[in-house]
Amino acid sequence: MLDFFAQLTVNALIAGSVYALAACGMTLSYGLLKILNFAHGHLLMIGAYAFFFAFAELGLGFLASSIWTLGFSLLVTVVLFRIFIQPFLRYSFLLVLVTTLGLGYVFEAVVQLLFGAEVHAYPITRLSTSLQLGPVYFTTVQLIIVCASLLVLPLLAFILHGTRVGRRVRAFSEHSEAAQSLGLSFVRYQYGVLIVSAFLATGAGVLVAFDTNMYPTMGTTYTIKAFASMIVGGMGNLWGTIFGAYFLGFLETFGIGLEIGGVGLPASYKDAFAYVVVLLILLLRPEGVFSPGRRRV
């Protein structure tokens, strides 16, 4: 029984790590720009497919594929930002939401045209080897996911709270005009956060594809997971979002895995958790668990 519990915990950690990597980019861009980028999950998807194209279809090596993937994702992100987000920062965040919602579906359809709607998987590599730690099983790539998350995310938080650059990003998040009046260039920091955000999403996408598989509609799925994490922990709040991601991972894994009194939820309800969480939090505490109270007009 304890073994089962331990395995569930590890699975939850893995799921939470993926969601955290996916969500942090979204929360950083929300914090700075006050926009909800519904195409963020699609960046994950584009990353996964771009890597697949280089690695599986062209047969390029790991390094070359990574460079290509990062470069391509960066290009897509910058173009997306420059044309569809930056000019809209003056307007209600709904404009960016609806625009990125539409664009996300364009990306999805394009990928479907190019690669087909069915599920794809990366060729089997060393990353799929099974490992065992006591009673718990996991794969190499899953280990990498958790390690990446546990290393990168606290690093991000440190940068945000302990360095001059991070201080400036936080200043922009709170009152961008006042920060600009201190002589700081908003545009420069926009691009900085954007690039970090894109790298996180792309990396997450490739790791997920190695771990399980990829399909064109995964973009929407991960956008919702990222969004749910953000909603729970507080939009724009980095530690809160990380917490929200792991919370979601645990909720999903244990909700499916456990049976209370012989009644368990079928596995297909896993994704529904994220949706229900989003709704509940929006209704009960829209500012998120960790954010300072927001004045609701």
Q: Look at residue 165 and give its three-state secondary structure.
A: helix
Of positions 40, 43, 108, 215, contacts another protein by CB under 8 A: 108
Give the shortest CB-224-to-another protein separation in angstroms: 6
Report d(CA 72, CA 74) in Å as an integer. 5
DSSP code, position 138: E
| Residues near 197 by beta carbon (within 8 Å), at least 6 away in sequence | 24, 25, 26, 28, 29, 40, 77
119 binds another protein (CB under 8 A): no
The verdict on 90 binding another protein (CB under 8 A) reads yes
- Residue 263 in the binding site for another protein (CB under 8 A): no
3-class secondary structure, 158: helix
Nearer to another protein, 48 or 169 (CB): 169
Q: Does 29 bind another protein (CB under 8 A)?
A: no
Query: Considering beta carbons, is residue 132 or 268 the nearer one to another protein?
Result: 268
Q: Which stretch binds another protein (CB under 8 A): 1-9, 43-51, 54-62, 178-186?
A: 178-186
Residue 112 found at the interface with another protein (CB under 8 A): yes
**41 within 8 A of 223, measured Cβ to Cβ:** yes
In terms of Cβ atoms closer than 10 Å to its own Cβ (0-12, 13-18, 19+), residue 43 is buried
CA distance 149 to 14: 9
Residue 158 binds another protein (CB under 8 A): no
Tell me, what DSSP letter sits at residue 137?
A: E
Question: Which residue lies nearer to another protein by CB, 141 or 230?
Answer: 230
Of 68-87, which residues contact another protein (CB under 8 A)?
Answer: 84
Distances (CA, A) of 294 to 58, 132, 221, 291: 51, 46, 28, 8
Task: Identify the residue among 58, 59, 175, 264 touching another protein (CB under 8 A).
Answer: 175
Q: Does 126 bind another protein (CB under 8 A)?
A: no
- Evaluate whether 290 touches 232 at the Cβ level (below 8 Å): no
> Which phi and psi (to 5°) does residue 193 adopt?
-65, -40
* Selected binder of another protein within 1, 2, 124, 182 (CB under 8 A): 182
278 lines the binding site for another protein (CB under 8 A): yes
Instruction: Catalog residues that contact another protein under the rule CB under 8 A.
Output: 36, 84, 88, 90-95, 97-99, 101-103, 105-106, 108-110, 112-113, 116-117, 164, 167-168, 170-171, 174-175, 177-187, 220, 224, 266, 268-269, 271-272, 274-276, 278-279, 282-283, 286, 292, 296-297
